[in-house]
Amino acid sequence: MRVVADIIKGAYSLIVGMGVTIRAFFSPVVTCQYPRETINISPRFRSHTKLVGDPENPDRTKCIVCGMCERNCPSNSIKKIEGEKKEGEKKKTATSYILDFTTCSQCGICVESCPVDALAFSSDYNPVGFRREDFHYDLVKEYEKRKKTA
Amino acid sequence: MCDTIINIVNIVGKEVVRTVVGLIGVFIVVIGNAIMLTWAERKVAGHMQRRIGPKEVGPFGLIQSFADSVKLLGKELLTPANVERPLYFLAPTLIFVPVLVTFVVIPFDGFLQVKDINVGILVILAFSSLTVLSILIAGWGSNNKYSLIGAVRSVAQNIAYEIPLLLSLLPIIFMANSFSLRDVVEAQKGLWFVFYQPVAFLIFFVASVAETNRTPFDLPEAESELVAGFHTEYSGMRFSLFFLAEYTNMFIVSAIAVTFFLGGYQGPILPGVVWFFMKTYVLVFVLLWFRWTFPRVRFDQLLNFSWKILIPVSFLNLLVTGGILKL
Ligand code: SF4
Ligand code: SF4
């Protein structure tokens, strides 16, 4: 008797399993066909850092060239922060800010330590390059490019 | 043009022409079926896992199998150093013999049959056991432990499942009173045998899944344990022959199930051959469905299932059928 009960139970479980797969078969596809389609990147996503524009003067970024981020970076990924004082402005304006993305661990210490909130994470999820130097970003130039395309 | 063809037919004899044309047709069906099924298998697998499956090569990825076969044809034929050479070369060819012979006796339509042998069923059953021989040869000849384990498993499994397969066909033979496949189909003019013999149909289908070595009974080639089982050492065209044989076997077991239980080419309105292929591919789809639903069984479960359940039940079924027919 137990054998028969087992067989019936087993057969039933097989049918349940087949029901699961056939329902999946007729349900819509859940994958994203990546190169053809993309999904929206979560705002929390951390790619390389970017400089944020100054809302009062879109020609410059918020960065005041204080060097806090460079000093705090645990991976020493930030180099060559240079700036100049423009005519009639109180603060310095960054002219060069090199981020070595090959060593950056996206820890966010630079973003947090910036006194004027000039840094943020970008959502650039697919950077590619053929040489190491392709990932040494000049964030000031990158900001200018972004401004132009915006 | 027509006259010359008739002349040629008269000179070489009708039987020869029928066989040659039939074999060419069989080859076309075999290749076309394998190409279609490799595509269908991936597509079904994809959608059952809520993916798309092949989509890049051609519309809906239909050309994908062609691309794959060109790739396989272009591959170097690698022969490992210490293989048993004659056996190693023989196995992929031998696996094709049962496949072709079985096709010869299957009635695709009222007249579309290469040859109606009056012991057709016996021919199929006798030759389908040859598959296991070539698997054994492949496993032994490869000189590889995984291949050998796969082959040994295959033998145990095929012996265990050949018996219920045979026993589940016997009641049908009782009812049709003939060994010829065409007579079996003709006997189902009224009601298909699956309605008289649902148990036999189930047993036959389960046993034939085991015979084709497909999941959940794919122990001879269990990828996760045995690399690729008996065809571990095969590459290029030789591998693709095994591959081709597997997909053709799927078609064959479905075709036999259709012939014996689902009325073969019988059906209203549409021509018989269309009915035949439609029914067969529905069963093939069920086989694919099985594969992407069920996990592999353990070896003791596999043998227990056959010896303790399938064989007694099919014996019982046979006895009951015999008793009822006698009354
Ligand atoms: S995220 Fe971390 S590692 Fe990267 S630059 Fe900023 S402080 Fe350095
Ligand atoms: S901490 Fe902020 S303001 Fe200071 S250099 Fe870095 S980005 Fe510029």
**Using an 8 Å Cβ cutoff, are A96 and A51 in contact?**
no
Q: Does the pLDDT at position A49 exceed 70? A: yes
Q: Nearest CA to B204 among B248, B258, B152, B246?
A: B258
Which chain B residues are closer than 8 Å to A18 by Cβ?
Answer: 289-290, 293
Residues with CB under 6 A from ligand 1: A 49, 73-75, 77-78, 99, 104-110
pLDDT per residue over B99-131, tens digit each? 778 888 888 877 777 777 778 888 888 887 788
Please report which confidence band the pLDDT of residue B187 belongs to, taking 50, 70 and 90 as the band edges.
confident
Is B49 an interface residue toward A (CB < 8 Å)?
yes
Nearest CA in chain A to B290: A18
CA–CA distances in Å: residue B321 to residues B88, B168, B315? 45, 11, 10
* Residue B8 token pair: 């040629």
Residues B44, A20: C-beta atoms closer than 8 Å:
no
Going by DSSP bridges, is the β-strand pair A49-51/A119-121 parallel, antiparallel, or unpaired?
antiparallel
**CA–centroid distance, residue A96 to ligand 2 (Å):** 11
pLDDT-derived band at B213 (thresholds 50, 70, 90) equals: confident
Query: pLDDT class for B276, splitting at 50, 70, 90?
Result: confident
Q: Which amino acid is present at B221?
A: E
Contact A21 B55 (CB under 8 A): no
Contact B257, B203 (CB under 8 A): no
Token pair in block for residue B90: 């023989």
Ligand 2 centroid – CA A131 distance (Å): 27
Q: What is the pLDDT of residues A7-24, one digit of tens each?
A: 888 889 889 988 988 988
Give yes or no for residue B286 having a pLDDT over 80.
yes
Judged by a CB distance cut-off of 8 A, whether residue A39 touches chain B is no
> Percent of chain B, pLDDT > 90?
1
Cβ(A140) – ligand 2 distance below 6 Å: no
Distance A110 CA to ligand 1 centre (A): 5
CA of A70 to the centre of ligand 1 (A): 9
Residue A46: phi and psi, rounded to 5, are -110, 110
Contact B50/A33, CB-based, under 8 Å?
no
Q: Which of B124, B129, B131 is nearest to B105 (CA)?
A: B124
Across the interface, do B50 and A28 touch by the CB < 8 Å criterion? yes
For A63-89, write each residue's pLDDT tens digit.
888 888 888 899 888 888 888 887 777
Contact B311, B163 (CB under 8 A): yes
- Per-residue confidence (pLDDT) for residue A130, from 0 to 100: 92
Averaged over A126-139, what is the pLDDT? 87
A66 close to ligand 2 (CB < 6 Angstrom): yes
- The residue whose CA has the least distance to atom 3 of ligand 1 is A104
Over residues B268-292, the mean pLDDT reads 86
Q: What is the number of the ligand closest to the CA of A100?
A: 1
Contact between residue A105 and residue A75 where contact means Cβ atoms under 8 Å apart = yes
Confidence bin at B298 (pLDDT 50/70/90): confident
Q: State how far the alpha carbon of A23 is from the alpha carbons of B40, B49, B51, in Å.
A: 18, 10, 13
Supply B161's token pair. Answer: 């499942």
Contact at 8 Å (CB) between B29 and B242?
no
Omega of the bond prior to B171 within 30 degrees of 0, cis? no
Q: What percent of chain A has pLDDT over 70?
A: 100
Is 70 exceeded by the pLDDT of residue B304?
Answer: yes
pLDDT tens sequence across B130-165 = 888 888 888 888 888 888 888 888 888 888 888 888
Interface predicted TM-score of the whole assembly (ipTM), two decimals: 0.70
pLDDT confidence tier of residue B1, bands split at 50, 70 and 90: low
Q: Phi/psi class of residue A17: alpha, beta or left (left: φ > 0; alpha: ψ in -120 to 50)?
A: alpha
- B289 Cβ under 8 Å from any chain A Cβ: yes
| Token pair listed for B77 | 């034929």
Q: What confidence tens digit (pLDDT) does each residue in B219-244 have? A: 777 677 777 777 787 877 888 888 88
